Structure formats: structure tokens, C-alpha cells
Amino acid sequence: MSAPPADSVLERAPVLLRDWLTGFLPGRARWAANSLLDIVAILAVFGLLFAFLTLAERKILGRAQNRPGPNRTGWFGLLQPFADGIKMLTKEDIVPRAADPVLHFLAPVALLAFAILTFAVIPYGRDLVPVDLDAAVLYFFAASSGAELAVFMAGWASHNKYSLLASMRALAQLISYELPLILSFVPVAMAAGTLSASGIVAAQSGWKWNLVPHWLVFTPWGAAGFAIFMVSALAESNRSPFDLPEAESELIAGHLTEYSGFKYALFFMAEYFAMCALSGMAVTLFLGGWQAPLPALEFIPSYAWFAAKLLALLLGFIWVRATLPRLRVDQLTRLAWKFLVPVALVNLGTAAFWSLSFQWAGPLQLVRWGIALAMVAVPTLLLGRGLSGGLGPRTYRYA
Amino acid sequence: MCLAFSSVLFAVGLAGALARSNSILVLLGLELMLNAANLNFIAFWRFGPSHSPATGVVFVIFSIAVAAAEASVGLALIIAVYRHQRNIRLAEATRLRG
Amino acid sequence: MNAVLTLIALATIAAAAAAMAGRNLLRCVLLLAVSWAGVAGFFLWAGAEFVAFAQLLIYLGAISMAVLFAVLLTGRSREDLVADRVPPRRALYAVLAAAAVGAVLLAAVAATPLAAGPTSVPAVGVRELGLLLMGPHCAALLIVGVLLTVALIGAVVLAAGERTEKPDPEP
């Protein structure tokens, strides 16, 4: 490795490609063409990722349940997503007669639009942020909270009592988990000193003793924050075990009941895009973004590292779906308000203590770790013990 | 130009708040007026001379927060009034005693 | 630059007017959400990014949710959601009053000799905002925090009501 990693051709390949494609355009037109290329690239990459993620999910869920998953369409079922796409496109689009046609049409479009908007601020590699905003993470949370309106529109426009009820429950879930999501991010902003995504990635650069990276997940409060962020991300994208809004045994399909064909596929796509965007943000905030874990591995380009971490998190999502049972709506909201929010607040205090005890030297570092670990673990355990019903004989309480 | 925009928005919000008899629409008119005021602040922050660079932005942050609090309390009041009179027509909420 | 501003202004005012004059309550709320997004667009145009995203997050993501929940909790049937037609005289008076206020404001704006002001965006990064909020404006921040907590608790108490209520008699 003679050349520094920032200059290797493989590393700079996307930027070189983009400059080759648009280099001949003047000023503003070049900026517009660059942005257009960014949009096309993101849609293409994440569209394909969505397709193969659905396949991966079905295969992994199948293997977890001791069955092979789709394996008939193409080699190992690799053409299954395309078969599903063709099926969705050719289905009849049923709109209930009493439904509000404008809102019924707009709801999946708006949901997908907000989900795609969140992709704009994630740094996919060195110099590969589509839009480098100063308040990037705030933009991310704002765009993902706009999706709540679309969920309401879907439930209301269907003119179906059960759709409305289910969309209210979905909304309650979305709002409840937005709070731990944002609260778990606040210590990261405190540690990095900035809200800009590339700034947060830069704050996690370097290695301690040339071995352990400075990723925020390797601190006590960072690990707890990462856990809270991941749980809230599961709930924000309506994934198991929080998929009450779209479970088949609960109010049919919730707010999606009256949607068929391509609109249903759009809802589905929006959910997977939200999952990808939240995983991408988790990689940026806690796992060091596009940086390599060891100095010796820096020859692998930055976008490859980002993709690897993103895929690891997505596979984690699928793993959780295969493993945990679904939560009831009161259990879900109780988890958010009574457990995650207090733990996130205590996490904030721990992060404050951590950054203030920065200069403790030598053996005091062990004390620092001990105190921080205690500050994170003790409230979590106490709250968990206090909130759970104990391990005695189960009494069935009606929801 | 921006100030004209915010003045017109304020007037629209005022018209809505005065004309409608549905409490929620009156509340929405109020929110619109608050938004127009925030617009005014940002317009002055952007184009007006000021000795401190961020006063306008800080004020608008607080204004948004207070507007959120006021909206939630207003909506809770509307729900409480609904519990008494079973509809949300503002003209019928004329007595303090339920 | 002015073309963008005119576009944002027209869209916002149109959405707001439609929201205030509409009959279907939910359509009104959604149109008002569009006008709030327009206001956020104006903030972005003026260069106040943090406030624009905060506006989107709070208004579109939280206040509109609260309003929608309230609308659905206070309507006993779908017919309740079509608001009564405003009597034309009352609408006329309201529009006249608002137009008078608007005219006074516009006259004040036109008559004030406004300084030309800086032509570039005052550079206020998020970091400076944070330092300002925690420094000189710390007291205001804490007061707003207490205000929000009190408002939230009050709203919960008001909306939850009393437990001992006679059940709704069958219609």
C-alpha cells in the first residue's frame, strides 16, 4: 500500500465517473446534472437493494423456519423479486367507491417521497454525500417524520373504519418511537460537536493504539445509544417485532387494507427504503460511516465499507424478524414511553459524564469506563425489572 | 416583498380565525398567524441590519416551540369542551359552567 | 431569486386561503400542512436551514398529528367532518376586517424606510446556534422547557378528563 487510500483509483472511482460524465457542462448546469446523477444512482442502487432484500428476507426467514424459501424462479430464486414486481404491476388497481380518490392516490406517493428524501444526506463514502447540509441529521428526522402524514392519509382515504383505527395505531407507534430515536442521537451530536453527517463521520476517524477505531459504538453510552436507535428504527419502519400496523392477523393489513397492486408495492417499497435509510444513518452516527475498522484494511474503498456495514445491519433486521414475536400495541407504546425514553435520557447524562471526564489518565480510565457502564446498565436493569411482569405463571390480560 | 408575503398570510389567518365557527379551524387560523409572524422574523433576520447575527433565528426557534405547546393545550381544551357539548361549534361554548 | 420567492409565496397563500375557506375539515388540515411546508420553503430560501427543518419536524410531524387526532376524536361520524357553511355576511365581515388589518400592515411596510441590509446570508451555523442557546439565551431555553412540560401535562389532564362519566346514551 504505497498510495494513501484517499487517492487510490478504486476509492475515487464514483467521483471520477461523475466528473467524466458531467465535466463538460458549465457552472449551474453542471451542478444540476451532478444532482440528477446522484438521484439516479441512489434510486438505482437502493431500488436493486430493495428487490434483493425482499428475496434475502424470504430466504433467511425460510431457513430460520427450516424451509428453503423461494427457489423456483431462477437459480436459487434470484429472479423472484422481478417476478413479484411483474405480479404487482399487472394486478388490478382497486379503489373503493367511497374512498377519497385524491388522498387515496397521494398517500403511497407521499410516503415513498419522504422515504426517498431521507437518502439525500447520508454519506455513502468519502466525498460521496449527495447534499452536505450543516443540519443534515435534523433534515433526516424531519423528512422521516413527514411520512406520518402519509400514513394518516392512507388510513383515512380508505373510508374503512378498521383502516382508520389501524392507521391511528400506526401513527401512535410512529410518534412514540420518534422520541427515543432523536434522544439517542443527541449524545452523538454532543460528542461530535456538529449536526452535519460528514462531520459526525469525521469525528469518528482514527484509531486508538492503531487497533480500535474511535467509532461511537465502542463507548458505553454509544453502545446503549446504538441499541436504542436500532430498536426505534425497527419501530419507525414498522418492522417486526413492531409490525402491528401491517400484520395479517391484526385488522387485516391495517392502513394498507384497501390498497392493491402497485400502490401496495409502493407502501412496501417505502417501508424497505425507510429501513435502509435508518440503517444508513445508524452506520453514519454510531458505526463510523464509511471508515475502515483497521488501518490495514483501508485499501478497501470507503463505499464498500459503508455497503458492508449497511448490509450487516439490514441482515440484523431480518434476523430479528425471524426470531422475536410481535408486540401488542400497548406493550409497544409502554416500551417506548416507559423504558426507552428514560434510558435514552440517562444515556444523555452518561455521555455528558464521558465527555467531561475526557482527561482522566491511566488507571482512572478504567474507573471512567466502570462509572459509565454502571450509569448505562443499572437504570436499564432496574427499569426492565420494574416494568416486566416477572417470570411467574402467565396470567392472560385482555388487550 | 417578504414582509408583504407575511402580512398577507397574517390577514388570511385572521380571516379564517374570525369567520369559522369550528373551533379547530379557528385554532388553525391562529397557527397560521403565528407562522406569519415567524416569517416576519426571518425576513428581518435575513435582510435587516442587526448587531447580533442570530437573534432572529433563536427567537423563531422559541416561537415554534411555544406555538407547539399552545396548539396542544388548545386541542386538549377542544376535546374537553367536546365532552360536554358533543360538538365543536364555537358559538355554543358560551357558558363557563358545563 | 425573486421568482422562487414569488412561487413559494403564491403557493403558501393559496394553500392557506383554501384551508381557511374549505368545507371538508380534513382537507383543510392537510392544505394547512402544505402551507406550513411552504413557510419552511421560505425559511430555506432565506438561508435559515435549522429553522426550516425544525419547522418541518415540529409542524408537519407533530402539530398536524395532534390536530388530526383531535379532529378524529371530536367527530362522531363522517358527516361531522364537513363543517357548516359559513353565513355569507359573517364571511364578508371577517374578510373585510382581515383585509383592513392587512392593508394597515402593508401600508406600514411600504412607508418604513427599510435599510438595504446585507445581501449575503448571515452565517449562522448550527454550532453558533447551540452556543447561543446554551449561553446568553440559556434562561429562555430552560423556561421554554418548563413551559412545554407544563403544557404537555396540562393537555394530558384536560384531554383525559374524569374517570367517572356516565356512558353515552344510545341515540
What tens digit of pLDDT does each residue of A171-227 get? 888 889 999 999 999 999 888 888 888 888 888 887 777 677 788 888 888 888 999
Q: What is the mean pLDDT of residues A47-62?
A: 90
Tell me if C71 is assigned to some domain. Answer: yes
Q: Residue C47: which residues within 8 A CB-CB, separation 6 or more?
A: B46, C121, C122
3-class DSSP state of B89: strand
* pLDDT at A194 (0 to 100): 85
Most confident range, picked from A51-55, A123-127, B43-47: A51-55
Of C58, C99, C159, the CB nearest to B64: C58
- Residue-wise pLDDT for B32-86, tens only, equals 999 999 998 888 888 777 667 788 888 999 999 999 999 999 999 888 888 887 7
Q: How far apart are CA C99 and CA A61, in angstroms?
A: 63
Closest residue in A to C50 (Cα–Cα): A135
* pLDDT at C37 (0 to 100): 92
- Copy the grid coordinates of residue C114: 427599510
Sign, CA torsion A261/A263/A268/A273: positive
Of all residues in chain A, what percent carry a pLDDT higher than 90? 21
- Residue-wise pLDDT for C92-142, tens only, equals 888 888 888 888 888 888 887 766 656 666 667 788 888 888 888 889 999
* pLDDT at A22 (0 to 100): 77
Q: What is the mean pLDDT of residues A296-322?
A: 88
Most confident range, picked from A212-226, A248-262, C154-168: A212-226
Range list of β-strands (E), chain C = none
Q: Residue A101: which residues within 8 A CB-CB, separation 6 or more?
A: A95
Instruction: Using alpha carbons, list the distances in angstroms from residue B19 to B12, B13, B85, C27, C120.
Output: 11, 10, 21, 17, 41
Neighbours of chain A (3+ CB pairs under 8 A): C
| The pLDDT of residue A3 is above 60 | no
CA distance C165 to chain A (A): 22
CA distance C21 to chain A (A): 19
A134/C49 touch (CB, cutoff 8 Å), yes or no: yes
A74: left (phi over 0), alpha (psi -120 to 50) or beta: left
DSSP C165: -
Backbone φ and ψ for A333, nearest 5 degrees, come out as: -70, -30
The residues with which C24 forms a beta bridge, in sequence order, are C82
Of A138, A145, A164, the CB nearest to C50: A138
> Do chains B and C meet with 3 or more Cβ pairs nearer than 8 Å?
yes
Q: How far apart are CA C53 and CA C37, in angstroms?
A: 10
| The pLDDT of residue A239 is above 70 | yes
Closest residue in A to C68 (Cα–Cα): A152
Backbone φ and ψ for A107, nearest 5 degrees, come out as: -60, -55
C49/A142 touch (CB, cutoff 8 Å), yes or no: no
Neighbours of chain C (3+ CB pairs under 8 A): A, B
| A139 interfacial to chain C (CB closer than 8 Å) | yes
Q: How many Å is the maximal CA-CA distance in chain C? A: 66
Q: How far apart are CA C51 and CA C63, in angstroms?
A: 16
A103/C30 touch (CB, cutoff 8 Å), yes or no: yes
- Copy the grid coordinates of residue A6: 484517499
DSSP H or E stretch at residue A94: none
C51/B76 touch (CB, cutoff 8 Å), yes or no: no
3-class DSSP state of A393: coil
What total of structural domains would you count in chain C?
1
3-class DSSP state of C24: strand
Query: How far out from the chain centre does Cα C22 lie?
Result: 17
- Residue-wise pLDDT for C66-87, tens only, equals 998 888 888 766 665 666 666 7
* pLDDT at C1 (0 to 100): 57
- Chain A, residues 159-218, CB within 8 A of chain C, namely 164, 168, 171, 175, 178, 193-196
Instruction: Using alpha carbons, list the distances in angstroms from residue A315 to A52, A66, A307, A320.
Output: 12, 18, 12, 9
Of C102, C137, C158, the CB nearest to B7: C102
- Copy the grid coordinates of residue C106: 402593508
pLDDT-based confidence at B98, cuts 50/70/90? low
* pLDDT at B83 (0 to 100): 83
Domain membership of residue C39 as a residue range: 2-109
Of B9, B28, B57, the CB nearest to C13: B9
A138/C69 touch (CB, cutoff 8 Å), yes or no: no
| C93 interfacial to chain A (CB closer than 8 Å) | no
| The pLDDT of residue C9 is above 80 | yes
- Copy the grid coordinates of residue B38: 415567524
Q: Give C-chain residues touching A153 at CB under 8 angstroms.
A: 30
Q: How far apart are CA A375 and CA A350, in angstroms?
A: 6
Query: How far out from the chain centre does Cα A234 lie?
Result: 7
Backbone φ and ψ for A393, nearest 5 degrees, come out as: -65, 135
CA-CA-CA-CA torsion for C90, C95, C96, C98, nearest 10 degrees? 120
- Residue-wise pLDDT for A150-159, tens only, equals 888 888 887 7
- Residue-wise pLDDT for A67-96, tens only, equals 888 888 877 788 888 888 888 888 888 888
Q: Residue B87: which residues within 8 A CB-CB, separation 6 or more?
A: C74, C80
Domain harbouring C58, CATH code: 1.20.120.1200
Question: Residue B23: what residue type?
Answer: S
- Copy the grid coordinates of residue A147: 411520512
A138/C54 touch (CB, cutoff 8 Å), yes or no: yes
A148/C61 touch (CB, cutoff 8 Å), yes or no: yes
Per-residue burial over A63-91, b if 16 or more Cβ lie within 10 Å, else e, is eeeeeebbeeeeeebeebbeebeeebeee
Of all residues in chain C, what percent carry a pLDDT higher than 90? 23
Closest residue in A to C78 (Cα–Cα): A159
For Cα atoms B67, B38, B40, give the angle at the middle one, nearest 5 degrees.
155
Query: How far out from the chain centre does Cα A19 lie?
Result: 30
Q: For C100-131, give the DSSP string.
A: HHHHHHHHHHHHS------SS-----HHHHHH
Of B47, B66, B78, the CB nearest to C117: B47
Q: Give A-chain residues touching C61 at CB under 8 angstroms.
A: 142, 145-146, 148-149, 178
The number of helix segments (H) and strand segments (E) in chain A equals: 14, 2
Q: How far apart are CA B13 and CA C39, in angstroms?
A: 13
CA distance C82 to chain B (A): 10
| Nearest residue to B22 via CA among B30, B33, B34 | B30
* pLDDT at C170 (0 to 100): 47
DSSP C82: B
Q: For A184-235, give the DSSP string.
A: HHHHHHHHHS---HHHHHHHT-SEETTTEE--GGGSHHHHHHHHHHHHHHHH
DSSP H or E stretch at residue A12: helix A9-22
Task: Specify whether the CB–CB gap between A203 and A191 falls below 8 A.
Answer: yes
Q: How far apart are CA C44 and CA C50, in angstroms?
A: 9
Backbone φ and ψ for B49, nearest 5 degrees, come out as: -75, 140
Per-residue burial over C4-19, b if 16 or more Cβ lie within 10 Å, else e, is ebeebbeebbebbbbb
DSSP H or E stretch at residue A386: helix A364-387
> Do chains A and B meet with 3 or more Cβ pairs nearer than 8 Å?
no
* pLDDT at A113 (0 to 100): 92
* pLDDT at A390 (0 to 100): 61
Report the predicted TM-score, pTM, of the whole model to 2 decimal places.
Answer: 0.89
Query: How far out from the chain centre does Cα C154 lie?
Result: 21
Tell me if C64 is assigned to some domain. Answer: yes
3-class DSSP state of A31: helix
Task: Specify whether the CB–CB gap between A167 and A245 falls below 8 A.
Answer: yes
Sign, CA torsion C71/C76/C81/C83: negative
Closest residue in C to B50 (Cα–Cα): C117
Residue with the three cell numbers 401535562:
C153
Which of A100, A117, A153, A156 to substitute to test the interface with C, most C CBs within 10 Å?
A156
Of B20, B32, B73, the CB nearest to C86: B20
* pLDDT at A137 (0 to 100): 92
Task: Specify whether the CB–CB gap between A272 and A116 falls below 8 A.
Answer: no
* pLDDT at B63 (0 to 100): 94
* pLDDT at A249 (0 to 100): 59
Closest residue in B to C31 (Cα–Cα): B28
C65/A103 touch (CB, cutoff 8 Å), yes or no: no
